[in-house]
Each structure stands twice: as C-alpha cells, then as structure tokens.
Amino acid sequence: MNDGSPDNTEEVAQSWTERNSRFKYFRKENGGVSAARNFGIEKAEGEWILPLDGDDRIDVHYLLSASEQFHDKPQIIYAEAEYFGAKSGKMVLPEFNPLELLIENQIFCSAFFRKEDWKTVGGFDEQLLDAYEDW
C-alpha cells in the first residue's frame, strides 16, 4: 500500500501485482502510519495480520515459524528482534509492564495478531503521530 510516498513505491508494488495475483495495490492520501496500517488491515482478507513498516524487515523464516503456531490459537505471535542499519545487534526489550508502557515504548509492531482482535480494540490510534504509532 502506498500512502503518499514520493518515491517509486507505486511502480514497485504494481510490478508485484503483475507477477502474482495474490498481491493487491492500494493508494491513499498520507494520514500517518496508524492511518496507513488501519487502511491496509481493513483491506486485508486473512485472519492473521502482520504489520511491517517501511523501516522494518523480517527474517525469511518468520512467516513459516509463525504459521506453525496458528493451530495453538495464540492471541499474538511475537519474535526476537535485531537492529539493522546504523545500529546492530539483538534488541533487548524489558519485561512487559503496562505502567512502564505509558512512559516508554516496550514493543515493536511486527507481531502477528488476529484481524478480529484489531476490530475489537478499534484499530491503531490515528491520533498518535511523531513516532508513537507502535504504542
């Protein structure tokens, strides 16, 4: 999905849709990361959702490893993370604490969750801007 990118996103995405009919291309006006995620998830046809932002990437085995967990009916499937680019090494997240989450982000967004759960909570908060979208 392209939410107003000034680069060649449309050209690249269109080439994928031509190669494989499972890929679909959508364009919307820029409204922030949360709005883009919500728009894409609304269009998604699957039960499981995996947000993957432009500054994230996943291991080639992540989809297969996660899919092996679906039968256990988890609420969320999450993996370890590593930095790439200017910073490298394993990303060490603190033990989850809902009160600390109010002060500092303790997560990254590349976790599988059910589309139905996304609907239940009302999607990503589109009022959160300026890099707070993962919250």
pTM for the whole structure: 0.80
Query: pLDDT band at 3, cuts 50/70/90?
Result: confident
| pLDDT above 70 for 133 | no
* Range scoring the smallest mean pLDDT among 15-24, 102-111, 113-122: 102-111
- Residues of the domain holding 52: 47-121
Question: Has residue 55 been placed in a domain?
Answer: yes
Q: For 55-96, how does the pLDDT look when each residue is reduced to its tens digit (9 = 90+)?
A: 788 889 999 999 999 889 888 888 888 888 888 998 887 887
Residue 34 forms part of a structural domain = no
The answer to whether position 66 is within a domain reads: yes
Helices (H) and strands (E) in the chain, counts: 5, 5
- Looking at per-residue pLDDT, the higher value among 110 and 134 belongs to 110
Domain count, the chain: 1
Q: How confident is the model at residue 53 (pLDDT cuts 50, 70, 90)?
A: confident
Q: Within a domain: residue 86?
A: yes
Examine residue 2 and state whether it is found in any structural domain, yes or no.
no
Decide if 128 is inside a domain: no
Sign of CA dihedral 6, 1, 129, 51: negative
DSSP 2: B
pLDDT tens string 32-52:
888 999 999 999 999 999 988
Residue 57 in any domain: the answer is yes
Domain annotation covers residue 114: yes
**End-to-end Cα distance, the chain:** 21
In angstroms, the CA 68 to CA 8 distance is 35
Cα distances from 52 to residues 41, 71, 99, 134, in angstroms, run 11, 23, 26, 11
